[in-house]
Amino acid sequence: MEFIQPLLSVLFPSRCLLCQHSADTVVELCAGCLAGLPHNTRCCQRCALPLAVEAGKSLICGRCIKQPPAFDYAYSLFSYQDEIIKLVHQLKFSEKITYARSIGELLRMRLQAEAALEKDKPDCLLPVPLHQSRLRQRGFNQSIEISRVISKKLAIPIECHAVVRQRSTDAQTGLDAKQRRRNMKGAFKMAAEFNAGHVLIVDDVVTTGATTNELAKLLKKNGVRRVGVLSIARAPVKG
């Protein structure tokens, strides 16, 4: 069936997800749109928080200096603004699988660009679990969908059963970092036997990091040695 994909792309050339011009790339974004996205190049080396130019040479954010997160490293492709908000919204609320495929490819490329990947490869990908009620409402977990591309191309298995979200934490919007941390406490629990030394959490948007931090804490408490976070976008600090 290997011939199907090239054949399909000749019959139905792909269109850029943002501007509808032709986009003959694996990520389904045209070169212009891709270059114009808010790439998160200047960010905290530990938590991927976008840093302002005024931050000088420091590559660790104030929050990580004061209290390092429970995860060991984080990659976030974009700053959560402009067209990225639109893309993530489409990923969550449109049934079209192309969004997950396109974003999954971008994440896969980012991960593959890490020189350390070969000797420090994660044992599994752990998409942030949705609460049952949210999953029923949406019909799919966007973090699982974007993980599929990475899993397939980099041969890293997806773990969807080890952790469950036992509490619905819908009301995160409008809460500050401290309130979010409190709100997330005990949101996850282990649900199955889990044996992994190095876990890569996959999330769509990391806002304050409260969710991924809570998940990382739980994993470390259960014997995971190394935890990373891979996300599409990271929200810049407000103001």
The binding site for Zn ion (CB under 5 A) comprises 16, 18-19, 30, 33, 44, 46-47, 49, 61, 64
**What do you get for the CA distance between the two ends of the chain, in Å?**
52
Which among 150, 148, 147 is positioned nearest to 114, based on CA atoms?
150
Shorter beta-carbon distance to Zn ion: residue 64 or 164: 64
Nearer to Zn ion, 30 or 107 (CB): 30
Nearer to Zn ion, 33 or 128 (CB): 33
How far is the C-alpha of 227 from the C-alpha of 70, rounded, in Å? 8
Strands 226-234 vs 198-206: parallel, antiparallel or unpaired: parallel
Match 């934490």 to its residue by tokens.
169
Contacts of 102 (CB under 8 A, 6+ apart): 17, 27, 28, 29
State the minimum distance, in angstroms, from the CB of residue 46 to Zn ion.
5
Shortest CB 129 distance to Zn ion, Å: 24
Least separation in angstroms between CB 59 and Zn ion: 9
Burial class (CB in 10 A: 0-12, 13-18, 19+), 238: exposed
Between 17 and 187, name the residue whose CB sits nearer to Zn ion. 17
How near is the Cβ of 75 to Zn ion at its closest, in Å? 13
Extract the tokens encoding 140: 């799919």
